[in-house]
Amino acid sequence: MAWVFSLSAECGIKQSEAQQFAQYFNEISWVISNGRHSQCRAEFFQDIEENWWCRVCPSGLSEIGIDTPESAYLMTEIGIFLYQSLRFAPPFRYALVGREVDEFRTYSELIEEPALVFPGLVLAEAVWQATGASSVFRSFSLGYVWKP
């Protein structure tokens, strides 16, 4: 069974916002510490609440999970690159980087159960306010907070 390491972002009710988000990440690539080139591949889709998501999958990572110290290091390195790129991404409501993070919470689940937040979760300030503005979140970028 393959494990997918990705950035998943919920972009709201407009397909065009998910398309913009995907286009931004489809143009991003890095040379990682092992000398390999990692290219982002982004796609968008709707969830059961008809909100639009974008999944960004970087190339060059193990699909069987963390099986060596090198794969752990590379996932960490690419995760940092994804979060750095997310700081300048087109608008989104919330996002998370990790393994198997597709549709990790629908919008209504996030609003109704704000205690169920994950380390690394990035929220638009409006969503953060709607969840009760928990003090565990810190500034991420203009208009966004995150749980380190």
Q: Which of 15, 21, 7, 18 is nearest to 90 (CA)?
A: 21
Which runs of E-coded beta strand occur in the chain? Answer: 5-12, 29-31, 37-46, 52-58, 94-99, 122-124, 138-141, 144-146
Q: How confident is the model at residue 59, as a pLDDT?
A: 85
Residue 44 reports pLDDT greater than 90: yes
Average confidence (pLDDT) over 18-44? 93
CB 54 within 8 A of CB 17: no
CA-based end-to-end distance of the chain: 29
Phi, psi of 73 (to 5 degrees): -65, -45
How do residues 12-27 score in pLDDT, each as one tens digit?
Answer: 999 999 999 999 999 8
How do residues 89-126 score in pLDDT, each as one tens digit?
Answer: 999 999 999 877 776 789 999 988 876 678 999 999 99
Specify the length of the chain in residues: 148
